Structure 1
Amino acid sequence: MAPDEFLLEYKSQDYGTDPTEVRSTDTYTDEYVRGFVEKWDELIDWQQRWESEGDFFIEQLKAHGVKRVLDVATGTGFHSVRLLEAGFDVVSVDGSPYMLARAFENARQRGRVLRTVQADWRWLNQDVYGRFDAVICLGNSFTHLFDERDRRKALAEFYSALVHDGVLILDQRNYDEMLDHGFSSKHKYYYCGEKVSAEPEHVDEGLARFQYSFDDGSVYHLNMFPLRKDYTRHLMQEVGFQSVSTYGDFQETYHEREPDFFVHVASKKYEGAPR
């Protein structure tokens, strides 16, 4: 059932007097205020993102024999809609009611009906029933988790939601490059909307605070945890995933400093040596 958009009120983001000290997983739903969500698709640019991603995720899922997908960070619905159009059976989850309302409407405009669930990843299986061939967590969403126990709990929930040979696909920014050498971005793959900027306002080992500026003068922020690539891979393996392959901007071969984003493909079934 779609969230009732008319019940979702407008309010401002509020990080208090010292925004760089706001480092809590529980703040993420308050960050995605309605005004920000309504501009999110300007930041993403669906058509350009389709062109830049190509069929990477579709090919990965098909290679693993996937039919049923749980999109645990659907946002405004970009990947859920894309996968529905490609013939997958999709359930769409988000922690933000504003995102779910926008995702449902975006899908409706494209002739699709999303099955949406509002859920916190840490207790995902209390609200989402059944098992899936794949769980996807895209759009740099996993970095909303600030505590290691929250990250481990969420990954365990993803693992539990999968069938015995299921696969998790999770992406993240190249925070290693940002922390070690400063920020730069080609803005080619993820945030490719025109006249929109997404750049860090503050970065340290425990916080990446990004500012999103739109051409009408509106400004929003997100506080995220800067995950290092190898740390994320180790967490996946420690939770139980048997193999983890990592791609840089959708390429199997890459130089560590070049990608804007990493994509981790983790399987419950052992599939040879990890890359």
Structure 2
Amino acid sequence: MSKDIQVDSTSEFFRAREQEFGDNPIAVRESDHYAQEYVGGIVDKWDDLIDWPRRAEGEGRFFVDQLKARGAQRVLDAATGTGFHSVQLAEAGFDTVSADGSPQMLAKAFRNGLANGGHLLQLVHADWRTLKGDVHGEFDAVICLGNSFTHLFSEHDRRKALAEFYSVLKHDGVLILDQRNYDALLDGTSTGKSSYYYCGDEVDAVPDHVDEGLARYKYTFDDGGEYFLNMYPLRRDYVRGLLRDVGFQKIDTYGDFQEKAGDHAPDFYIHVAEKSYLAELAD
């Protein structure tokens, strides 16, 4: 693996095969629990859920074009997962550092990088809340994709993570952060099926429990495997407010890649938040 990776292969989370939610799964609402969710079977099957070719077709050049339009060169993929976006960015010529909080995801990303273009990904085991201590140097852009930000359950953790993203960006850097359209889910208007993010035909992903503090999703695969993820259902405008509070001044929110979010109900929102100082907003 890359010399930059900081993963203890003897740790319990590196070796764990089964998810752990205890006797009352819907009571599990802690930011650190994701490390017990992204283990074993679900990591092995994650690429079946995404379907790399179909996902690449669905999102097109959206992220590459957003980054190139801002002259970005060095990019931190803060939630690399199995490495999909890190590989896409490497293919497009970006100098990419790939971070994740799951050791098993990082191991899978390393293998995927080699298998898809022979890329030796620069991997870092990182906690967003202490990001500056885990990654080195500054970045032109930080991307946090795959609905990953919703694994933070407390507002303190969300604000701390965003502040860390802000701090590792150069003065004119950009953060690109996405989230599921939880507004539609909470308001009862969601179709429950993602057309762009989770494209695999051999898996069914549906809400198992939803309330204002938890969106628990069940993932059922054709071989009978069942896995769960507990996430916090972030509303779109709440996230935009947090981004402003941290210091991002210009925030564009898009729906499903192709256009800015308007009256339609997209599967996902993508927030593009610029750090650049805007004098007109200071007046």
Q: Distance in 2 between matches of 1:256 and 1:213?
A: 31
Partner of 1:191: 198
Residue pair 1:249, 1:261 contacting (<8 A) in 2 also: yes
- 1:236 equivalent in structure 2: 243
For 1:181, what is the secondary structure of its paired residue?
Answer: coil
> Distance between the aligned counterparts of 2:233 and 2:103, measured in 1?
25
Corresponding position of 2:182 = 175
Range that drifts further, 184-193 or 112-121: 184-193
| Runs of 4+ that moved beyond 6 A | 4-7
Q: CA offset at residue 17 of structure 1?
A: 1.1
Letter of the 2:269 partner, please give it: F
Instruction: Give the Å deviation of 1:35.
Output: 1.4
Question: What is the aligned length?
Answer: 273
Q: Secondary structure at the match of 1:134?
A: strand
1:1-275 map, 5 Å: 1=2, 8-110=14-116, 111-270=118-277
Task: Measure, in 2, the Cα distance between the counterparts of 1:187 and 1:23.
Answer: 24
Q: Deviations over 1:191-250 (max 9, x none)?
A: 000121111100111000000110000000000000000000000010000110000001
Gaps of 5+ in 2: none
How far is 1:106 from its partner? Answer: 0.2
Inter-partner Cα distance in structure 2 for 1:269 and 1:116 = 28
Q: Residue 59 of structure 2 contacts residue 196 of structure 2 at CA under 8 Å; is this kept in 1? A: yes
Separation of aligned partners in 2, 1:36 and 1:256: 35
How far 1:14 moved relative to its partner? Answer: 1.4
* Contact map agreement 1:177 1:257 (CA 8 A) in 2: no
Q: Percent identity?
A: 62
Q: What secondary structure sits across from 2:187 in the alignment? A: helix
What letter matches 1:190 in structure 2? Y
Decide whether the 8 Å contact of 1:5 with 1:101 is kept in 2: no
- Structure 2 CA distance for partners of 1:19 and 1:206, relative to 1, 3 Å: same
The whole-number CA distance in structure 1 between the counterparts of 2:33 and 2:75 is 27
Question: Letter of the aligned partner of 2:63 in structure 1?
Answer: F
Specify the code of the residue in structure 1 equivalent to 2:41: G
Q: Deviations over 1:45-73 (max 9, x none)?
A: 00000000000000000011100000000
Contact 2:100 2:106 in 1 (8 A): yes
CA deviation map 1:128-167 (0-9, x unaligned): 0100000000000000000000000000000001000000
Quote the offset at 1:257 in angstroms: 4.6
TM-score (norm 1): 0.95
Question: C-alpha displacement at 1:258, in angstroms?
Answer: 1.8
Query: Contact 1:4–1:101 at 8 Å: present in 2 too?
Result: no
Query: For residues 9 and 29 of structure 2, what CA distance do their matches in structure 1 show?
Result: 29
> SS where residue 229 of structure 2 aligns?
strand
CA distance in 2, matches of 1:230, 1:245: 12
CA contact (8 A) 1:246 1:252 kept: no
- Shift in Å at residue 99 of structure 1? 0.3
| Counterpart code for 1:226 | P
- For 2:91 and 2:77, the matched residues in 1 are separated by 14
Query: What TM-score does the superposition give when structure 2 sets the normalisation length?
Result: 0.93
